Amino acid sequence: MRPRTALARSLIEARARTDTLFGLVKPDAFYERPVPERHRIIFYLGHLDAFDWNQIGQWALGLKSFHASFDQLFAFGIDPPVGREPDDKPSDWPTLDEVRRYNQQVRQTLDDALDRAPEQSLHVAVEHRLMHAETFAYILHRAAPDRKLALHTRLLLAGPVPDHAMIEIPEGPVTLGRPRHDGFGWDNEFDAHAFTAPAFAIGKYKVTNGEYLEFVRAGAEPSPFWTRRGDQWYWHAMAGTIPLPLDWPVYVTYEQALAYAQWMGKTLPTEAQFHRAAYGTPTGEERLYPWGNEQPDERRGNFDFRHWDPIPVTATPLGDSAFGVSQLVGNGWEWTTTPFRPFPGFQPFPFYPGYSAPFFDGDHFVLKGASPRTAARLLRRSFRNWFRPNYPYIYAGFRCVEN
């Protein structure tokens, strides 16, 4: 029996999305580790279906395990500090055929029962898989070109020249989080709480490669996505190296972003300031998206897997916020100075208590917005991303504020 509900079909579609990504990996590269601190690729191949099985098959539906050792082996990823590499060997992992057989049996078993699964479990499975579609994209980004199949990418290199103005955002209301029982959200998105944000000014555009290049010429570290050949800088695009696109947003760590902002005599926004600039209006209402309440589409920004790489910061004026701030959603996550902490009323998911709580450690910072590889369903304004301040692999940029 094939799943019939829309949510169950969403999981099938998300599987196709991640299957396509794994299909880009050459068979002899699955035991490599493109990001040194992360697991080998073979883990991620097994993790997504093991997660679905553990959450839906065992926890929600009480189905009997058919491969308990794989259920446990592929259950959890890792979040080690930069520079602390795992010490496993390729021989410690199952064969590619064994993992694929496991995945196939998980899907066959679950598909006969998905229509009986609780909606919350299906939401978790769908969004977890789509988040990993982004995670695996940046892992694949780091793989050597000869370890993945040739990609057909479209690069948008040129756009209107950005006017790097600061936009004044007046004092106004901010509602962080979402109300309980008002649609799905991860545990760290609750509860909704409102307050007033003081006035500030924020950059109309994300900081670009061209702007950050001046900082590098003054002695700063380059972006992790850059490489230098002689006197020329280049960008590591997904499909290969290209001359540095000056009007693309720069992707950097939190530490690099904060250093640039301070060099400019400014700082980074808080989560509340980002929210006010993105979703607020001069009249005090709050929008679903920066551009209004219309559903996301490719005219509004660079998200939902349409591009592998960034586009110019001026390329999507239809996505501007009510205050005229551009690309607050898409084209790169944005660092904030807000440590990742629980909102008032936080309650961990009983079926997934380790999703957020272990990261409330003061060593992870909130990112808002979205990247080119962020699924449209994750663009809700309450969604929060978080990473360590020196993590150099993600599609994350920033903009400056003046308080």
Within a 10 A sphere around the Cβ of 245, how many other Cβ atoms? Answer: 22
- Residue 75: which pLDDT band, with cuts at 50, 70 and 90? very high
Sign of CA dihedral 157, 163, 164, 166: negative
HSE-CB for 320 with a 13 A CA cutoff? 14
- Residue 2: which pLDDT band, with cuts at 50, 70 and 90? low
Section 178-200 average pLDDT: 95
Section 250-277 average pLDDT: 98
Which residues, including other chains, have CB under 8 Å from residue 335's CB and lie 6 or more apart? 254, 257, 258, 268, 365, 367, 396, 397, 398
Whether the pTM exceeds 0.75: the reply is yes
Distance of alpha carbon 304 from alpha carbon 14, whole angstroms = 12
Question: With the CA atoms of 130, 75, 118 and 183 taken in that order, what torsion angle do they form, in degrees rounded to the nearest 10?
Answer: -40
Report residue 367: phi and psi, to 5°: -120, 145
Section 53-65 average pLDDT: 95
Section 320-326 average pLDDT: 98
Section 308-326 average pLDDT: 97
Q: Tokens for 174?
A: 């901010």
Q: What is the DSSP code (8-state) at residue 186?
A: -
Q: CB-based burial of residue 325 (10 Å sphere; 0-12 exposed, 13-18 middle, 19+ buried)?
A: buried
Q: What is the pLDDT of residue 81?
A: 80
Q: What is the pLDDT of residue 76?
A: 85
Decide: helix, strand or coil at residue 144: coil
Distance of alpha carbon 209 from alpha carbon 228, whole angstroms = 14
Q: What is the DSSP code (8-state) at residue 303?
A: -
Section 290-302 average pLDDT: 96
Q: What is the pLDDT of residue 83?
A: 80
CATH 1.20.120.450 positions along the chain are 6-147
> 166-222+248-402 adopts what CATH topology?
paralog of FGE (formylglycine-generating enzyme) (3.90.1580)
Return the percentage of the chain with pLDDT > 70, whole number. Answer: 99
Q: In this model, does residue 135 exceed pLDDT 70?
A: yes
Q: In this model, does residue 78 exceed pLDDT 80?
A: no
Q: Buried (b) or exposed (e) across 308-322, using 16+ Cβ within 10 A?
A: bbbbbbbbbeebbbb
Q: What is the pLDDT of residue 157?
A: 82
Section 191-200 average pLDDT: 96
Section 330-336 average pLDDT: 98
Return the percentage of the chain with pLDDT > 90, whole number. Answer: 90
- Residue 3: which pLDDT band, with cuts at 50, 70 and 90? low
Sign of CA dihedral 266, 269, 273, 277: positive
Distance of alpha carbon 317 from alpha carbon 238, whole angstroms = 25
- Residue 1: which pLDDT band, with cuts at 50, 70 and 90? low
Q: Work out the angle at residue 208's Cα, subtended by the Cα atoms of residues 255 and 261, and round it to the nearest 5 degrees.
A: 40
Q: In this model, does residue 68 exceed pLDDT 60?
A: yes
Q: What is the DSSP code (8-state) at residue 56?
A: I
Section 355-369 average pLDDT: 97
CATH 3.90.1580.10 positions along the chain are 166-222+248-402
Q: Which residue has the tokens 């301040």?
A: 389
Nearest to 325 by CA among 365, 295, 368, 366: 368
Section 322-327 average pLDDT: 98
Q: In this model, does residue 80 exceed pLDDT 80?
A: no
Q: What is the pLDDT of residue 82?
A: 83
CATH assignment, 6-147 = 1.20.120.450
Section 98-127 average pLDDT: 96
Distance of alpha carbon 55 from alpha carbon 81, whole angstroms = 27
Q: Which residue has the higher pLDDT, 81 or 261?
A: 261
Q: In this model, does residue 164 exceed pLDDT 90?
A: no
Distance of alpha carbon 76 from alpha carbon 78, whole angstroms = 7
E-assigned strand segments in 151-223? 166-169, 172-176, 193-197, 200-203
Distance of alpha carbon 359 from alpha carbon 336, whole angstroms = 16
Q: Which residue has the tokens 């949510």?
A: 7
- Residue 9: which pLDDT band, with cuts at 50, 70 and 90? very high
Q: Which residue has the higher pLDDT, 181 or 54?
A: 54
Cis upstream peptide for 361 (omega within 30°)? no
Nearest to 136 by CA among 28, 41, 49: 41
Least confident piece of the model among 83-97, 116-130, 195-209, 363-377: 83-97
Distance of alpha carbon 294 from alpha carbon 304, whole angstroms = 15
Section 40-63 average pLDDT: 97
Q: Are the beta carbons of 253 and 391 closer than 8 angstroms?
A: yes
